[in-house]
């Protein structure tokens, strides 16, 4: 009986010489666990905001969740986020924030510790590709309150000629 089965399978194996085109499989519904959900992201109106909209489209393709990106000015972003978080209205699930706000948000309990998530996804994130100072900027105590999105470098410049001018020095001291 076994020999008959083996012979039957070998007889019908590879019956066609031309490869049969394989249709790309569609992801089953269970592969999109967040289908029908909407995540709202508040973002500062900077050079990255438009790209966040594109990432939102990709996230929807992968997860099923739609991402709505609200692009706001600096002051308006802070006002909307602090009001939303303080009143627990849950308007925004995600936000890009100025790093100086992350400590305040952590102290008030408005952030989650990202350390476990970063550790879980370390290989995918490629944490070694992010300069160490960027990681420390988002820390509050032993918790990671913010994940680096962009690195801004601010500089304080001054006019050396004014600092060396005796008349300017005299006028400054007279004030």
Between 97 and 150, the higher pLDDT residue: 97
Q: How far is CA 155 from CA 48, 152, 158, in A?
A: 21, 10, 10
**For residue 10, what pLDDT is reported?**
32
pLDDT > 90: what percent of the chain? 60
Show me where the domains of the chain are located: 35-96, 100-150
Band of residue 148 on the pLDDT scale cut at 50, 70, 90: confident
Evaluate if pTM is beyond 0.85.
no
């Amino acid at each position: 009986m076994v020999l008959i089965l083996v012979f039957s399978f070998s007889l019908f194996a590879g019956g066609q010489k031309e490869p049969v085109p394989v249709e790309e499989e569609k992801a089953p519904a269970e592969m999109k666990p967040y289908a029908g959900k909407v995540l709202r992201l508040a973002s500062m109106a900077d050079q990255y905001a438009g790209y966040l909209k594109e990432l939102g489209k990709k996230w929807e393709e992968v997860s099923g969740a739609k991402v709505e990106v609200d692009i706001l000015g600096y002051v308006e972003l802070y006002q909307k986020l602090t009001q939303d978080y303080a009143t627990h209205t849950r308007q925004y699930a995600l936000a890009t924030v100025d790093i100086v706000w992350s400590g305040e948000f952590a102290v008030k309990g408005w952030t989650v510790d990202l350390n476990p998530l970063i550790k879980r996804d370390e290989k995918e994130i490629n944490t070694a590709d992010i300069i160490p100072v960027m990681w420390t900027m988002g820390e509050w105590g032993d918790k990671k309150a913010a994940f680096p999105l962009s690195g801004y470098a601010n500089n304080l410049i001054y006019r050396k000629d004014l600092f060396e001018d005796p008349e300017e020095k005299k006028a400054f001291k007279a004030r």
